[in-house]
Structure 1
Amino acid sequence: MTTYLFPGQGSQSKGMGKNAFDDFPDLVAQADEILGYSIKKLCLEDPDNQLNNTQYTQPALYVVNALLYRQHLQQGGREPDFLAGHSLGEYNALQAAGVMSFSDGLSLVKRRGELMSKSVGGAMAAIIRLGADEVERCLIENNLTDIDIANYNSPMQTVLSGLNADLEVAQPIFEKAGAMFIPLNTSGAFHSRYMGNARAEFFDFLNQFKFSAPEIPVVSNVSAQPQKPENIHQSLADQITHPVKWTQSIRYLLDQGETELIEIGGGDILTKMVKAIQAGDEKPRRRRNRVIPDIIQKREPESVALNSEALTPNKAVEAWNHRHPIGTRVRVAGYDDIFVTRSIARLLFGIRAVVYMEGYKGYFSLTDVTPEVTNG
């Protein structure tokens, strides 16, 4: 089986797509009309040094990825069994799957880039040499809960997102823990709670568009599972404020028996990530009935099942605290013992509904916690 992967922001470079623009003049003309400038000139010449500006980067990558995909198929590439894209690249995956037209996809990406470029006061940093579990634990133990995880890129590369001041405080803490802390050249705290205004505006914009059911399964950044037609609007809006679950997405594909993952774009960033995930994936990819008490569980879905109700994490926290006081006796998936809650439920990293237990140094996901039923 074959999966095509589309890269996102960070993979741009001057000269990208140079061998594809002339093969698709009609699409290039559509792009110029939608954008109001020459996309070919931006990508090949970048005369005004705008290619690294989010507002221009995202449309440029979308167009180049789309052209290179069509070129790949014309040159004999086979139709994929799955599609996936990293952040912005997910729009290319959806377009390739027939969910949206080239022009609709570009209109969405144009607006997305404009809204995200307005973000100020935020920053991002890559954490290298620490596993995602260790990164999460470091955030919790040092009370850095105003920082969100933006990207799970590979087992040893996690990206943080937050306010400048908070990341400055975090840097020496992570370096002391043995990590490389690499500030990223971004204009805002992408894929975090701090993009809430951009998400709200983009959600309204999304409602102007109608999407078709994917003809090819597309793995979502938000859920690391194939996109469901009825959730596409919500998922694309949530992607702005939620982490890119790239490691989890690749693990899902590997669990399906995927043997050929091909990057379509101007570079090999995703190819390197895939190799890192394959090389560093020593733990079982499918964790069944197992809870690690001193870290936050990574497999939290975007909606939480609580007492048979499908709830968002925010609603799950509200519902739990309404029904279950501190000191509630509970059962936890994977354990035979009865646990007792030591805190109210809370939303961690902006997306995870969790609760603290007595006798354990760490949070448990509400998805693994069930109140003990007593008689009388």
Structure 2
Amino acid sequence: MKTYIFPGQGSQYVGMGKKLFVEFTQHVELANDILGYSVTELCLADPKKQLNNTLFTQPALYVVSALAYLQQQKHDASPVDYFAGHSLGEYTALFAAGAMSFETGLKLVKKRGELMSQAASGAMAAVLNVDELNLRTCLQAHNLVGIDIANLNSPEQIVISGLVDDINRSQHSIEQLGGRFIKLNTSGAFHSRYMAPAQQEFAQYIADFDFSSLQTPVIANVTAKPVTEKEIAHCLIEQLTQPVRWTQSIEFLLAQGEMAFEELGPKKVLTKLVDSITSHRDATLHIGAHKPTDTAQTSLTPQQQIDTWNTTYPIGTEVKLNKTGKICSTRAQATLSFGHRPTIYLHDYGGYFHLSELSPLPQVVRKTTEA
């Protein structure tokens, strides 16, 4: 099986689309008419330093990714099983699937970029090495309730969105949790409640457009499942204030069978995320294949195992990996992965382990070992 994936903001760079613009001159001319400026000049020279402004970034990425798909069709017209796009990339996926024309997609993206660029000031930050549950718990515990989850990019990468002061204030708490905090160069709190005014205007604008039947399934960001023709407008509207569920989208696709992914558009940002999600899933499945030897433990549900662990062993507990004998310490509380696997993240190992793979070291053993 095969899925084409299309990137969103962050994949743009000066020089992108050079060969595509020469190959698809009619599409470029059409884009210039709709946008009112030269997309070729913007992408290849960026004389006014506008390419990283969301007002211009979104149309530029849509055009380049759409042309990349058309070029791919010239070279390989074999059918594809699914399309998926990250945030803005969902519009390219819908174009590729036949739900909208190139022109319609560009008009929608142009309006989307305008409204998002006018949104109230905000900030975003990437959080690495903290899972969603622990991140939400951390934000709640430190009264950072004004922060929303914007992107669930991979098990190791989540993007948060909110007011500037709240995002800045969250850094210390996240780093105390063991996560890495990276402030992003954005002017707005995208994919959050703060996009509500833009969402309302976009809903009015998109109401004038009709969509066609999808020739190929497209995975919607807000549901992480295939979207129907009747759901397209609703999902694109909701996408402005809801998180991009990229991890769950890729997990859905992986669950369909052996899947090959090909990224069409500038750079390979999504390819790296897919690799991370796939590796994490494979590791979790491998760990889960090892059954606990403790009969009392196997009689508990996954959530009961997690609750028992968290009430018994504090963060920082030393544990032995049953398979290798390596001694590590826990970096967070136990959590439920993929909805059914009781796991925990370990220091110095860069990954989650099924609780059945670990043996907590009693305090007396630790003292004897250290002596």
**1:77/1:271 Cα in 2 relative to 1: closer, same or farther (>3 Å)?**
farther
Could you report, residue by residue, the CA deviation over 1:121-179 in whole angstroms, capped at 9, with x for unpaired residues? 21000001212222122122222211000000000100000000111110111111111
Structure 2 partner of 1:30:
30
State how far apart, in whole Å, the 2-side matches of 1:210 and 1:169 are.
43
The offset of 1:78, in angstroms, is 2.7
Structure 1 gaps, min length 5: 301-332, 334-376
Separation (CA, whole Å) in 2 of partners of 1:175 and 1:211? 45
* Alpha-carbon distance in structure 2 between the residues aligned to 1:78 and 1:182: 40
Letter in 1 for 2:139: L
Task: Provide the residue aligned with 2:46 in structure 1.
Answer: 46
Would the alpha carbon gap of residues 298 and 206 (structure 1) be closer, same or farther in structure 2, given more than 3 Å must change? farther
Match of 1:157 in 2: 157
Gaps of 5+ in 2: 287-300, 308-332, 341-371
Q: How does 1:28-177 map to 2 (within 5 A)?
A: 28-76=28-76, 78-177=78-177
Q: Which residue of 1 aligns with 2:2?
A: 2
2:19 alignment partner, SS class: coil
Q: Do 1:137 and 1:296's aligned partners in 2 also have CA atoms closer than 8 Å?
A: no
Of the structure 1 ranges 113-122 and 3-12, higher mean CA displacement relative to structure 2 is found in 113-122
In structure 2, C-alpha distance between the alignment counterparts of 1:295 and 1:70, rounded to whole Å: 46
Q: Residue type matched to 1:167 in 2?
A: I
| 1:248 matches 2:255 | no
1-side partners of 2:112 and 2:338: how far apart? Answer: 27
State whether residues 136 and 295 of structure 1, in contact with CA within 8 Å, keep that contact through their aligned partners in structure 2.
Answer: no
Q: How does 1:315-334 map to 2 (within 5 A)?
A: none
Aligned to 2:291: none
Give the match for residue 364 of structure 1. Answer: none
How many Å apart are 1:243 and its aligned residue? 0.1
The root-mean-square deviation of aligned C-alpha atoms, in Å, is 2.3
Q: Which residue of 1 aligns with 2:362?
A: none
Tell me: CA distance 1:298–1:140, structure 2 relative to 1, closer, same or farther (3 Å).
farther
Alpha-carbon distance in structure 2 between the residues aligned to 1:280 and 1:248 = 12
SS of equivalent residue, structure 1 residue 151: strand
Q: Structure 1-normalised TM-score?
A: 0.76
Alignment deviations for residues 4-50 of structure 1 (CA, whole Å, 9 cap, x no partner)? 00000000000001111111111111100000001011111111100
Alignment of 1:182-201 (within 5 A): 182-201=182-201
1:206 aligned onto 2:206: yes
Instruction: Call closer, same or farther: CA 1:139–1:284 in 2, change over 3 Å.
Output: farther
Higher-helix-fraction structure: 2
Q: Provide closer, same or farther for how the CA distance between residues 55 and 104 of structure 1 changes in structure 2, counting only shifts above 3 A.
A: same
SS in 1 for 2:105: helix
Contact 1:83/1:219, CA 8 A, preserved across alignment: yes
Task: Report the CA distance shift for 1:80/1:178 in structure 2 as closer, same or farther (over 3 A).
Answer: same
Report the 3-state secondary structure (helix = DSSP H, G, I; strand = E; otherwise coil) of the residue aligned with 2:28. helix
SS in 1 for 2:18: coil
- Residue 43 of structure 2 contacts residue 51 of structure 2 at CA under 8 Å; is this kept in 1? yes
- Spell out, residue by residue over 1:332-365, the C-alpha distance to the aligned partner (whole angstroms, 9 max, x if none): x9xxxxxxxxxxxxxxxxxxxxxxxxxxxxxxxx
- Alignment partners' CA distance in 2, 1:84 and 1:123: 26
1:180 aligns with 2:180: yes
In structure 2, what is the Cα distance between the partners aligned to 1:167 and 1:100? Answer: 37
CA radius of gyration, larger in: 2
Structure 1 segments of 4+ aligned residues over 6 angstroms from their partners: 292-300
Q: Which amino acid aligns with 2:18?
A: K
Cα pair distance change 1:44/1:207, threshold 3 Å: same
Letter in 2 for 1:37: Y
Question: What is the CA–CA distance in structure 1 between the aligned matches of 2:101 and 2:16, rounded to whole Å?
Answer: 22
Q: SS of the residue aligned with 1:20?
A: helix
Question: Residue 119 of structure 2 contacts residue 197 of structure 2 at CA under 8 Å; is this kept in 1?
Answer: no
Residues 120 and 194, structure 2, Cα contact 8 Å, conserved in 1: no
Write the letter of the residue equivalent to 2:198.
A
Counterpart-to-counterpart distance in 2, 1:278 and 1:121: 35
1:232-282: CA deviations, max 9, x gaps? 111000000000000000000000014211000111100000011011224
Paired residues of 2:62 and 2:106 also in contact (CA < 8 A): yes
Q: Distance in 2 between matches of 1:110 and 1:95?
A: 15
Structure 2: how far apart are the matches of 1:229 and 1:290?
Answer: 37
Deviation at residue 297 of structure 1 after TM alignment: 8.5
Hey, what's the Cα distance between the residues in 1 that align with 2:229 and 2:335?
29
1:3 aligned counterpart, secondary structure: strand
Match of 1:247, SS? helix
